[in-house]
Amino acid sequence: MDPDGQGLGPLSMPHPASSGGLFSHTEGPSKELFWTSVLMPIFSIPIVVLRLWTSKRVVNKWHVDDTLIILATVFAVLFSVDSALNARLGSGDHIWNINPKSLEILLKSTKWGGLPVYNIATVFIKASVLTFYLRFTVDVYFKMCSYAVLFIVVANAIVNIVGSAILECTGPGQPGCHQTILIQIVSAAVNSATDALILLLPFWLLRPMKVPLSRKIGIAFVLMAGGFVFFVSIFRLVSTTQLDDNFDATYRGGNSLKWSVIETWSGIICACMPYAKPLINRYFPHSWAATKQDSSGSERRLATINMEEGVNNDQPENKAVVVEARKASSSRTASVCVPRDAILQT
């Protein structure tokens, strides 16, 4: 019971005199959430800038996935801002330390701010990775699978946003809060499943390539970089399954929110990783063993995924090699496309 004799539902809380004012939560898990929300974009945005610089100045080719990663970054920044504010409002702190006004603002901020921008950012991140994959193949079935994964990602985001918006959750113990948590758990599970599919899709591209195993492994790491966020999403899924609207929901919710922030920015970083190779090749040509010239001609070029269109356009012998490689690709690996503007040398 509260001091006025009113019931507080299934959650028993200490005396509200221990609660702080608005934006007063600066210790413990709330502090961790706040600094995670601040530091992740500070670390990640320069990586995005380098990726875009590589597309514009090194590769000399702008793709749809570049535009999508910009949109993902914008919504990720909005999500981080909302998460930092929620941390100051009490997300990550024990619910009995949060005054009613802060709790009301926190729930509304999560419902109308954090959830929508998180889901939209996730859609753009995965769309960026999938459109990146589509530049390497003309295989109709691969494209169908990629679009199917993207459809699941979009549908999951829509259900999460709309479902959470419809359900009423203005305080602990309400039926709407319990149903909202169930939606979050299911959505997190679907999110991890799609991350796993994105991580495994490159194997489809590698299968028809007739190249040494060591080369396939190198190409696999380049293509799979966008899916490595799967391992982070598992931690978020575990933290989300621990949510309980009847037991200190804000404390456990803060941990889940922290992992959501980490997952979002990790996804953006992973989506940018394939672009590291052409950037290093251009400005640090002797720092990567993959930049060494190979004497095996078109057979090795066939296994090369080179994003550096325009870098060697002044060398006729390289043009001839690429043409020969493309012909070889058509005859021996019909499902694999070798676009000059979308290939990373491995």
Q: For the chain, which residues make up each domain, given as ranges? A: 29-282
**What does the pLDDT look like over 55-102, one tens digit per residue?**
999 989 999 999 999 999 999 999 999 999 999 998 988 888 888 888
pTM attached to this predicted model: 0.80
Least confident range from 69-73, 173-177, 179-183: namely 173-177
Residue 145 has pLDDT above 60, yes or no: yes
Beta bridge partners of residue 343, listed in sequence order = 306, 307
Residue 339 has pLDDT above 80, yes or no: no
**What does the pLDDT look like over 202-254, one tens digit per residue?**
888 887 777 777 777 777 777 777 778 899 999 999 988 888 755 678 888 89
pLDDT at 17: 41
3-state secondary structure 20-35: ECCCCCCCHHHHHHHH
Q: What is the DSSP letter of 307?
A: B
Spell 22-61 as b/e; 16+ CB within 10 A means b: eebbeeebbeebbebbbebbeebeebbeebbebbeebbeb
Under the banding of pLDDT at 50, 70 and 90, the label for residue 21 is low
Residue 8 has pLDDT above 60, yes or no: no
Read off the pLDDT of each residue in 19-28 and give the average, rounded to a whole number: 67
How buried is 246 (Cβ within 10 angstroms: 0-12 exposed, 13-18 middle, 19+ buried)?
Answer: middle
Sign of CA pseudo-dihedral 283, 287, 288, 294: positive
Sign of CA pseudo-dihedral 101, 102, 106, 107: negative
pLDDT at 162: 95
The per-residue pLDDT of the chain, averaged, comes to: 79
Type and span of the H or E element at 179:
helix 175-200
Phi/psi of residue 170, each to 5°?
A: -110, 5
Name which residue leads in pLDDT, 262 or 217: 262
Under the banding of pLDDT at 50, 70 and 90, the label for residue 337 is low
Q: Which residues contact 137 (CB under 8 A, 6 or more apart)?
A: 143, 204, 205, 335, 336, 337
Least confident range from 150-159, 225-234, 324-333: namely 324-333
Q: Which residues contact 157 (CB under 8 A, 6 or more apart)?
A: 119, 120, 122, 123
